[in-house]
Structure 1
Amino acid sequence: MFEGMGLGGCILQAEYKFFKKAVMVFFFSVTTPFGIALGIALSNFMGPKLQGSIKLQIKAYIVVLLGAGGMSLMAKWA
């Protein structure tokens, strides 16, 4: 909820034309539920397999850290 409010405020303050703002809002509103559904599906599908393998857990942590690092890099760049 807070992410949506923050992004909405940034989009309102940006000096873009209406069409560009509408495209941003559309893609955020479409990709967010898709990402949530994908996360739920992967957690239900990979749960027992992930819990049984230390090697797979380490790989998962590395991927999460790479994703967080990539998002931080994009935030600094933007």
Structure 2
Amino acid sequence: MRSIIQKRFRGISVTIQVGRTGSFEITVGDSLIFSKLHCGRFPEPMAVVNQISAIASGQKPETVTEYEESSCVLL
């Protein structure tokens, strides 16, 4: 996710902080736009990029609600 964001937004600072086990959260400024703890899945990367673009254009931050398809296969 970090590399996708940095490729799309040149010069942006992406900070990674170790959190609780199972957590994956994305904040832009002070706004939480995604929490894996809340929805139980990872976000769709382009949905995150689109939300960051919207915020950079002056729109109010919104929660990302599009998720990656599960790649887990149980046999």
- Indicate whether the TM-score tops 0.5: no
TM-score (norm 1): 0.26
* Larger helix percent: 1
TM-score (norm 2): 0.26
